[in-house]
Amino acid sequence: MKFTAALAAAERRHDSMLCVGLDPEPAKFPGAWKGDADRIHDFCAAIVDATKDLVSAFKPQIAYFAAQRAEDQLERLMAHIRRVAPDVPVILDAKRGDIGSTAAQYAREAFERYQADAVTLSPLMGFDSIEPWLRYDGKGLILLCRTSNPGGSDLQAQKLADGTPLFEHIAQLAAGPWNRNGQLGLVVGATYPEEIARVREIAPTLPLLIPGVGAQGGDAAATVRAGWRGDAGGTTSGPIIVNSSRAILYASSGADFASAARAAAQATRRQLAAAR
């Protein structure tokens, strides 16, 4: 199933726009696991098992695995998700941005080694940094557009000669000439709901990956109002993927960490649904 179709199906099936980000920090692990990088897979798998019926996607961040020499655990985790939650798409948060044969190797890593359904990319080097990824039919390519960090304004809010902010230009390209196979989506931060609304105007049907809800302080209700589009029956025509990581992963530092993560995920899911 193509990423966009799998995403829409998971949203309907689980009545959810929530994405759980898997950013494992061993220093924050519970109990005897604290500080033990060999438990990265076990920790993340427990979170997946506890929340798999509450989410529309999972989003492992590759740096948290690579920094701990835990790429093999990421491979095992991806296989675990496919086994226990085959209907939930997995977005590999890698933010790659390169051209030519190097981009082709990064794509091979994401889609062949890790078997991701989608990946985050930086579009700064232009279309030829996106093109090698488009060769993987049905995979999602989610381009950085208006990110949730304050420093994003250093470039993304700068205006081109015609007065268009750079993030709007990226959205125009993603919704238009770059989206040759219907594979593209955009990253827009929950900390900027007005910009989410503007991006949604430009790209009314593209999936929007929205980080920043939870520990970063983004408003869940404002995020949904700005970005989600659908009918009265809840069928989406413009899906959003609202990511929360730390607020769910580390809801408890005790033996009940998985059940606490589930409770936190349920609460966020309810907030999002109420806003819709």
Kindly tell me the number of DSSP H helices and DSSP E strands found in the chain: 12, 10
Could you give the residue numbers annotated as active site?
A: 95
Distance CA 210, CA 194 (A): 13
The per-residue DSSP string of 10-69 comes to: HHHHHT--EEEEE---GGG--GGGTT-GGGHHHHHHHHHHHHTTT-SEEEEBHHHHHTTT
The per-residue DSSP string of 136-192 comes to: STT-EEEEEEE-SSGGGHHHHT-B-TTS-BHHHHHHHHHHTTT-TTS-EEEEE-TT-
